[in-house]
Amino acid sequence: MAESGTRPDEPERFQRQGSVSSKQDLIQWENASVETCTILSWLGYGQEIIQARRDAYREIGKLLTARACGMATYIITGSKGEGLSSYSESDVDRMIVNNRVFCLEDDVKSSAFPGEITVLRSLSRRSYHGHCRLLLERRGTTIHRQVDDAFCDDGYGHELLSSDLYVNNYSNEDLPEGTVQHERAGPSIPSTMHGHFHHDEVHSLHYYCPNILSKWAARPRHWPPTEVVQYVVSLGAFLTPVGFKGSEYQHVEWRVCFNAGEIELISNLNATQTKLYVLLKMIKNDVLHPRKKEVTSYTLKNIVLWMAENNPQASFHNKSILQWLHEALDALRVALITLELPYYMIPERNLMATSGLDVEQQRTWISTITDMLNEGPKMILRLPKIRKSLVAHPEPLRWYSGRRIELELLRLMRMNREVICSDENGDTYYTDAILQALDRRINEVITDVRMRMIMEGSRVINAQAIYVRIMM
């Protein structure tokens, strides 16, 4: 199956086209946009709480990396790392990067790496854009068993690192008590701890690819600024153990990704661009309901990144968010019609090439998005969280929002403190004074919420139920 190509000028479709026909329409769009931005802040998507989440999960990554004693680097990715989901809202995506293996582009010299490092050479020929195979160039003196057991013969006397074997080797490791492992999902190993903490782990490798990153950095753009571009380049790339679907080399192919750089890019979006991304994710979950990840949050993130790059930053403000949502949905509709969407970091890679979208689903989604575009600013009423907030009284909504945000901040602080106060076996010292103070304040907030619910005539529920509901 060949990957669909992309035209050199294709990202231009992410430039603003305009969707308002009169001054009266403009006022309606702007008023609805301001109200939507306010509601999103009340719902936990204001800049302060988003930044607090990012800081907390970045700190967790640093703490886990320190415990690995140089053997691995931990990065919290996905919506948690981006700060765009609350504590209990979604799984924790964790990338574990092996620090004893480095993969290099074709023309990068390996002599700079010490002898304990295993060096692999990427072979991108005969692989799809953004994918490669890994040829062993030098076996390190401190090679991990999971790596050493993942090599296979390429048929010509050379050793290739198999992505399938690599994931399987980590899947067969002993699990901590109370952890249940689930079926592999692409490059990730999903698991559940104590029945309700869901994690997706991806074991990946460092990839030194200056050619790919310099090509991305050299693009003319409105955004991000030069210093951010340079920092993203410095963060480098990674290889995750998954091949291109349908490739004859799928079991030995690896996918190029830029998780650390993309987290930095998302953190440099302005408030309106961030909320635009949140709204698109809500539409995916509450309107489109993808069954098999035909459209993912990653798809939508790439649309937002292209729009940010191709349009002046000043045009993204709280009066324009719904007009930008209109443009983003139109870009998604085009992607569904053409089955083409260039990857922001490597435009030659088509993100829709392996979507698995069937004709019926394609037709339904195109029709749904077309209807939303025709509804104008009223399309926002299709989102349950927004609709319920619009009919709620402002004062109680603000009060409950304040308690929810405080509770989440406390829980994030407690999450990091638990890591600090636990030993190598994961046992936590709950006698710690800071942990106890955090628990006391958490209980006080839950009690406040429970008492107000009683005063307002709500059915009395226990503290744990209130905690779960308020944190979702």
Contact 389, 43 (CB under 8 A): yes
Looking at 212, 245, 264, the residue that finishes a domain is: 264
Whole-angstrom Cα distance, residue 245 to residue 390? 43
**101, β-bridge pairs:** 118
Looking at 388, 415, 430, the residue that finishes a domain is: 388
Whole-angstrom Cα distance, residue 140 to residue 115? 6
pLDDT in tens, the chain (472 residues): 344 444 444 556 676 665 566 788 889 999 999 999 999 999 999 999 999 999 999 999 999 999 999 999 999 999 999 999 988 788 899 999 999 999 999 878 888 888 899 999 999 888 999 999 999 999 999 999 999 999 999 888 899 999 999 999 999 888 777 788 888 888 999 988 877 778 899 999 999 999 999 999 999 999 999 999 999 999 999 999 999 998 999 999 999 999 999 999 999 999 999 999 999 999 999 999 998 889 999 999 999 999 999 999 999 999 999 999 999 999 999 999 999 999 999 999 999 998 889 999 999 999 999 999 999 999 999 999 999 998 887 888 889 889 999 999 999 999 999 889 887 666 777 889 999 999 999 999 999 988 888 888 877 677 777 777 776 6
Domain harbouring 4, CATH code: 1.10.1410.40
36 class by beta-carbon count within 10 Å (0-12 exposed, 13-18 middle, 19+ buried):
buried
Contact 132, 123 (CB under 8 A): yes
* Amino acid identity for residue 434 in this structure: I
Query: What's the angle, vertex CA 140, arms to CA 137 and CA 141, rounded to 5?
Result: 150
Number of domains in the chain: 3
* 232 and 178 assigned to the same domain: yes
* 194 and 91 assigned to the same domain: yes
* 34 and 106 assigned to the same domain: no
Helix (H) or strand (E) holding 93: strand 92-104
Contact 300, 342 (CB under 8 A): no
Cα-only R_g, the chain: 24
Q: What is the DSSP letter of 91?
A: P
Encoded tokens for 245? 């679907």
Q: Which residues contact 472 (CB under 8 A, 6 or more apart)?
A: 86, 88, 89
Contact 65, 73 (CB under 8 A): yes
Q: Which residues contact 29 (CB under 8 A, 6 or more apart)?
A: 20, 319, 320, 322, 323, 376, 377
Domain harbouring 52, CATH code: 3.30.460
* 321 and 339 assigned to the same domain: yes
* 348 and 221 assigned to the same domain: no
HSE, side-chain direction, 13 A CA sphere, residue 215: 8
* 75 and 202 assigned to the same domain: yes
* 191 and 63 assigned to the same domain: yes
Whole-angstrom Cα distance, residue 132 to residue 126? 8
Looking at 249, 264, 279, the residue that finishes a domain is: 264
* 384 and 398 assigned to the same domain: no
Whole-angstrom Cα distance, residue 36 to residue 30? 10
pLDDT at 174: 81
Supply the range of the domain harboring residue 75: 48-264
Whole-angstrom Cα distance, residue 224 to residue 262? 12
Whole-angstrom Cα distance, residue 405 to residue 471? 9
Question: How many other C-beta atoms can be found within 10 angstroms of the C-beta atom of residue 315?
Answer: 13
* 55 and 33 assigned to the same domain: no
156 class by beta-carbon count within 10 Å (0-12 exposed, 13-18 middle, 19+ buried):
exposed
Query: Phi then psi for 470, rounded to 5 degrees?
Result: -75, -25
pLDDT at 358: 92
* 87 and 39 assigned to the same domain: no
* 38 and 159 assigned to the same domain: no
The pTM of the full predicted model, rounded to 2 decimals, is 0.91
* 27 and 72 assigned to the same domain: no
